């Protein structure tokens, strides 16, 4: 076993013990997630288990000598405000302000300041949207872990073939931390949830890596590595706008929520579906789309339509099932009265 493998093994042990200790402390200090009407779980569970991702990046930063300072500064800023929000809810304004500063630092790290003024708006919008998409989608056991493993695994492959130039540890260490987190989260009764600190910090890592890949390859085609999450979130936002809802408030209208709640499908099964669909999409991109160098506009339109044609009918079926359940419940109440 070489030195690097020994280091990764020791890192795994440290992170496992670290998360185990955090779960005990979180229970003691009541850093917990209590079920409410928007929840897809029914028991009180430790929140903030995603702090393991912060520990992994802290170790990476120490090992690498803080050689990507803007990314690290942004990462620790956004992780801190997210963890504080897990402990006690912070104002949306303060969270958004820190997110904006962190994303500006992220873009500065990616581009090294060599960016045109008009590109700032595009990068800011895409990065902020992607981070919040990741956070929105973290609602059932296993979904963040499985989806992230697919995304990070794809990025590691792109690193190995030379398309993504980055320190190997910046991909491998998050992968290790996600695998360990999966042990505690990807089960019928999760021992902990990622919390905002988990979903937001992990999103910041993958947004940085995908953004760096897009910048190095001078192509936005790689944003489809977020394709499944993106389509679900965008279409759900559109649906809520059409329904006259406040899109900033919590809800249970994502497809995965319908599948887990109204469809009564096991969380791990639903999470596996999302991860598998994204994995198939990534393989299609890497094997057929990117090598062919198709017109980017038509590729984006085609990919969007393909995912929409899968998503809309499936969601319609589960929405009808929910309407049927509500109708039956109303009839039962009427008969009881």
Q: Which two tokens stand for residue 7?
A: 């280091």
Closest CA to 54 of 186, 202, 182, 217: 202
Contacts of 214 (CB under 8 A, 6+ apart): 220, 222, 223
Q: Three-state SS for 45?
A: strand
d(CA 47, CA 125): 28
d(CA 45, CA 169): 31
Q: Which helix (H) or strand (E) is 101 found in, with range?
A: helix 92-111
Q: Mind listing the pLDDT tens digit for each residue in 143-168?
A: 999 999 999 999 999 999 999 999 99
Contact assessment for residue 183 and residue 23, using Cβ atoms and an 8 Å cutoff: no
CA dihedral 169, 50, 148, 249 (to 10 degrees): -140
Find where tokens 């600190």 sit: 197
Contact assessment for residue 26 and residue 51, using Cβ atoms and an 8 Å cutoff: no
Closest CA to 275 of 178, 150, 152, 139: 150
pLDDT at residue 5, as a whole number:
86
Q: Which two tokens stand for residue 292?
A: 């062919």
Q: Mind listing the pLDDT tens digit for each residue in 176-229?
A: 999 999 999 999 889 999 999 999 999 999 999 999 999 999 888 999 999 999
Q: At what angle do helices 143-160 and 267-284 cross, to 10 degrees?
A: 20
Q: Mind listing the pLDDT tens digit for each residue in 314-323?
A: 998 888 877 7
pLDDT grade for 327, boundaries at 50, 70 and 90: low
Contact assessment for residue 195 and residue 50, using Cβ atoms and an 8 Å cutoff: yes
- Among the ranges given (26-35, 108-117, 157-166, 288-297), the one the predictor scored with the smallest mean pLDDT: 288-297
d(CA 93, CA 97): 6
Closest CA to 106 of 70, 69, 134: 70
Q: What is the mean pLDDT of the segment spanning 102-113?
A: 94
pLDDT at residue 1, as a whole number:
58
b/e 118-138 (16+ beta carbons within 10 angstroms → b) = eeeeebeebbbbbbbbbbbbb
First to last CA, the chain: 71
Bridge partners, 32 (sequence order): 46
Q: Mind listing the pLDDT tens digit for each residue in 3-12?
A: 888 889 999 9
d(CA 73, CA 71): 6
pLDDT at residue 119, as a whole number:
84
pLDDT at residue 18, as a whole number:
95
Contact assessment for residue 146 and residue 275, using Cβ atoms and an 8 Å cutoff: yes
Closest CA to 38 of 254, 265, 311, 275: 254
- What is the average pLDDT value for the chain, to the nearest integer? 89
Contact assessment for residue 23 and residue 192, using Cβ atoms and an 8 Å cutoff: yes
Q: Mind listing the pLDDT tens digit for each residue in 270-312?
A: 999 999 999 999 999 999 888 877 777 888 888 889 889 989 9
- Among the ranges given (16-20, 131-135, 164-168), the one the predictor scored with the smallest mean pLDDT: 131-135
Q: What is the mean pLDDT of the segment spanning 103-124?
A: 90
Q: Let me know the angle formed at the C-alpha of 198 by 196 and 202, rounded to the nearest 5 degrees.
A: 120
Closest CA to 50 of 152, 150, 177, 219: 177
């Amino acid at each position: 076993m070489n030195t690097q493998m020994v280091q990764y093994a020791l890192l795994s042990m440290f992170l496992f013990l670290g998360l185990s200790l955090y779960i005990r402390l979180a229970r003691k200090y009541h850093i917990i997630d209590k079920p409410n009407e928007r929840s897809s779980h029914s028991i009180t569970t430790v929140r903030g288990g995603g702090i393991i991702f912060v520990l992994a990046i802290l170790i990476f930063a120490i090992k690498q000598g803080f050689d990507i300072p803007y990314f690290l500064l942004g990462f620790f800023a956004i992780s801190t405000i997210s963890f504080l929000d897990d402990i006690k809810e912070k104002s949306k304004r303060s969270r958004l302000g820190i997110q904006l500063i962190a994303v500006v630092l992220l873009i500065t790290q990616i581009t090294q300041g060599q960016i045109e003024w008009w590109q700032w708006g595009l990068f800011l919008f895409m990065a902020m949207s992607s981070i919040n998409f990741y956070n929105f989608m973290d609602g059932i056991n296993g979904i963040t872990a499985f989806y992230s493993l697919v995304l990070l695994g794809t990025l590691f492959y792109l690193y190995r073939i030379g398309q993504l130039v980055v320190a190997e540890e910046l991909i491998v260490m998050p992968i290790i931390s996600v695998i360990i987190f999966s042990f505690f989260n990807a089960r019928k009764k999760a021992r902990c949830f990622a919390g905002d600190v988990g979903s937001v910090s992990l999103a910041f890592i993958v947004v940085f890596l995908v953004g760096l890949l897009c910048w190095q390859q001078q192509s936005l085609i790689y944003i489809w590595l977020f394709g499944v999450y993106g389509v679900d979130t965008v279409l759900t936002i559109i649906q809520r706008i059409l329904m006259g809802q406040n899109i900033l408030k919590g809800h249970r209208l994502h497809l995965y929520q319908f599948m887990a709640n109204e469809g009564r499908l096991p969380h791990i099964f639903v999470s596996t579906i999302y991860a598998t669909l994204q994995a198939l999409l990534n393989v299609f991109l890497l094997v057929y789309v990117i090598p062919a160098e198709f017109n980017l506009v038509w590729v984006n339109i085609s990919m969007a339509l393909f995912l929409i044609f899968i998503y809309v009918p499936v969601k319609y079926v589960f929405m009808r099932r929910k309407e049927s359940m509500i109708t039956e419940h109303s009839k039962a109440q009427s008969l009881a009265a």
